[in-house]
Chains A and B, each alone.
Chain A
């Protein structure tokens, strides 16, 4: 284990000299996919609660398909599947985009976490108490102001505990990135294993790093819950 840390310590943390690798790459994947997922999820969550089935139907279909299939399949479709399609190869910008493993990975991850986050936020919006909405309406708020001032802030606060779970699960899901040649933590661990033939030390090292990231995230979300959900405290 000491040998691995001495030889692969820098790769595990941030770089192999040419690319960003290891911890930095994993955190980057997590940050970007969760941010894009959040931006997708917020409008879709509002549409998911629309009364018109033509509006909530497509959103339901999106979350149903994504949540019903494994992320690995989605990643393989985006990474190996789409590039094999003729029209993608024939158009230069699309081909350039789908050639890069990291683009495909980020796209698949963002779509995946976007679907789960949509359902989380939609549930929180659905659970908004009718009194709050009626009070806002009685003050003459327009639909837009109602969402901006009342529903969204309250729904996001109430969704925080479940959302923190989703972020942790997304951290765990980023391990799949190495199958698309993205040099994340697990890829470095694989390299260390290939160099030392010591699977336990290589994978246990990376498991400990993941454990530390998980605990840090849990701690940060606890703090955030204490701040944003302070009004729920006994």
Chain B
């Protein structure tokens, strides 16, 4: 159907990288979002302030700027830290170097964690208090309350926001090619430069993204149906 001029495997590998990167970033930002939402709703003033500063700054600064900031600075900070450790130990020369893939996950997770924090905060607040009090009355430990009562009900309210954030993360992975990751866009660029058909290969990259967003939309609809079990809807 498509004439890929021998660049098919590269483009496929790039697609896999893009999907891996977005799924892992989703995982990281999901966890950060849960922690951030708990911090925002906690009784400690310090934690609340910290989470507010985090979400405000991250959501006010463009993701590309943050990505370049973190990508270039993180390596320098790591080098400084490992140099310091070296000077303490004086024995082995020890260093950590970040590849674009890892730093992409860290930065995307850190950035979109702020958006997840806001989504989860709203969803946590939507779960009726009585549910949690009833669970505690049954003698459940806090973690059990979270796992059995709060989380499943919270997901129902959070899913539309999550779906939105997931689409944004998936599209934001396109930026990671700017810090040197060989994802689908890099593959399409190489193929386009090699064959002088940039328009064609870039359109293929666009179609791949379109396919990914459409498929994940379907999956999220199924998930929404799963978490909406037991909710009665008005029949119009």
Distance in angstroms from A141 CB to nearest chain B CB is 28
Q: Interface residues of A: mostly helix, strand, loop or mixed? A: helix
Which chain A residues numbered 189 to 234 have a C-beta less than 8 Å away from chain B?
Answer: 189-190, 193, 199-200, 203-204, 206-207, 210-211, 214-215
Pick from A5-13, A46-54, A172-180 the stretch touching chain B: A172-180
**Alpha-carbon distance between A176 and B209 when the two chains are bound, in angstroms:** 18
Q: Which residues of A contact B202 (CB under 8 A)?
A: 73, 76-77, 80-81
Q: Which residues of A contact B196 (CB under 8 A)?
A: 84
- For the complex, is B175 an interface residue (Cβ under 8 Å from A)? yes
**Alpha-carbon distance between A107 and B184 when the two chains are bound, in angstroms:** 23
Are the CB atoms of B171 and A69 closer together than 8 Å? yes
Q: Which residues of B contact A131 (CB under 8 A)?
A: none
Are the CB atoms of B60 and A214 closer together than 8 Å? yes
Residue of A with least CB distance to B205? A73
Q: Which residues of A contact B174 (CB under 8 A)?
A: 70-73
Are the CB atoms of A207 and B66 closer together than 8 Å? yes
Distance in angstroms from B89 CB to nearest chain A CB is 26
- For the complex, is A171 an interface residue (Cβ under 8 Å from B)? yes
- For the complex, is B206 an interface residue (Cβ under 8 Å from A)? yes
- For the complex, is A68 an interface residue (Cβ under 8 Å from B)? yes
Contact with A along B58-83 (1 / 0, CB 8 A): 01111111101100110010000000
Are the CB atoms of A73 and B61 closer together than 8 Å? no
- For the complex, is A139 an interface residue (Cβ under 8 Å from B)? no
Please tell me which one of the listed residues B57, B64, B76, B203 contacts residue A199 in the complex, with CB atoms under 8 A apart. B76
Please tell me which one of the listed residues B62, B199, B210 contacts residue A171 in the complex, with CB atoms under 8 A apart. B62
Residues of A within 8 A of B (CB): 64-65, 68-74, 76-77, 80-82, 84-85, 171-176, 179, 186, 189-190, 193, 199-200, 203-204, 206-207, 210-211, 214-215
